[in-house]
Amino acid sequence: MNRKIGIVTVLYNSESVLEEFFETLNKQTYKNFILYVIDNLSPDNSLFLSEKLAAEYKFETVIIKNKANYGVAKGNNIGIKKAIEDECDLVLLSNNDIAIENEAIEKLLAGLDNHKADMVVPKIYFYDTNKIWAAGGGFNKRNGITVQYGQNEADEGQFDTDKQVEYAPTCFMLIKKEIFDSVGLMDENYFVYYDDTDFVYRALKMKHNKLWYVSDSVIYHNESSSTGKMSDFSIRFLWRNLVYFSLKNYNLFYAGYVVLYNYLYIITILYFRYPRHQWLIALKAYNEGLKLYFNNKSVL
């Protein structure tokens, strides 16, 4: 069970959350890991603080300084490749805006073995609450968008059973290194958002690969600490990348349905819910997603 894990986390405006991230990693009962910190030229003190914390705590930390903000997908790829190069047996993709219960990694690894899984995720709460952020996930067939099971529900034990799932965010996902050999790395065209959806979707298209939700492994997530909740940035990349993901991965007829359905949703429902400038951002992002797909179609 004592396999080496490469924990990959991407920094961008992460200063406010890093101390707890390092502190809770340091308390893990499972010790055989290397933390790979990929700094995307953070404008705050994330890099300086990471270097300071790396010196304070005993676990091995490798800090990679990017020359620009390459986005989450490319940042993860840089860390994944380095972890595999360093002969890690598994890769743990991790946000850094999280607090991790002491046995979380150990229990994830046990779940991986018990279920003969290839990828596993924990129960994730909203930070400092007993409300679920994600207990695994799936796809909403009506609109083609991912869902996170249990989101915003108070935990009353309804998600205390391990379950094989068809989707989960990579907020804290443990993955066998062999998966990257067969599936490849993250698609860097996404920059941020849907890169994890795309990766998991591609992995599970190979029917022998399995993703499991492990209910007794627990973390707490301070959502959107770096990009801003429902910021202009978030709206742009969420809608742009939904179009790109759908056209890239769904069959022709279903992709067309999803793209049309969500376009109609933007011009009717979101017209009344978004401020006008964000509604216009969503419309423009849809066009960006179409261009992104067709410009890259020849290499997909």
d(CA 292, CA 294): 6
CB atoms within 10 A of CB 171: 20
Residue 227 lies in a domain: no
Is the entire prediction scored with pTM above 0.85? yes
Q: Which domain holds residue 194?
A: 5-221
Same domain, 149 and 282: no
Same domain (yes/no): 125, 261 = no
Together in a domain, 92 and 161: yes
**CATH number of the domain enclosing 17:** 3.90.550.60
3-state SS, residue 243: helix
Boundary of a domain, candidates 196, 221, 246: 221
226, part of any domain: no
Residues 6 or more apart in contact with residue 47 via CB below 8 angstroms: 11, 39, 63, 65
Question: Do 207 and 243 share a domain, yes or no?
Answer: no
- pLDDT tens string for the chain (300 positions)? 589 999 999 999 999 999 999 999 999 999 999 999 999 999 999 999 999 999 999 899 999 999 999 999 999 999 999 999 999 999 999 999 999 999 999 999 999 999 999 999 999 999 999 999 999 999 999 999 999 999 999 999 999 999 999 999 999 999 999 999 999 999 999 999 999 999 999 999 998 999 999 999 999 999 754 444 679 999 999 999 999 999 999 999 999 999 999 999 999 999 999 999 999 999 999 999 999 999 987 544
DSSP 121: E
- Please state, in angstroms and rounded to a whole number, the distance separating the CA atoms of residues 35 and 61: 5
The CA distance from 247 to 241, in Å, is 10
Closest residue by Cα to residue 76 from 97, 98, 59, 91? 91
Return the number of other C-beta atoms located less than 10 Å from residue 35's C-beta: 27
- Residue that has been written with the tokens 């993703």 in this structure: 211
Amino acid at site 69: N
Tell me how many domains the chain contains: 2
Distance, CA of 143 to chain centre = 20
Instruction: Tell whether 71 and 213 lie within a shared domain.
Output: yes
Claim to verify: residue 242 and residue 210 sit in the same structural domain: no
Same domain, 20 and 159: yes
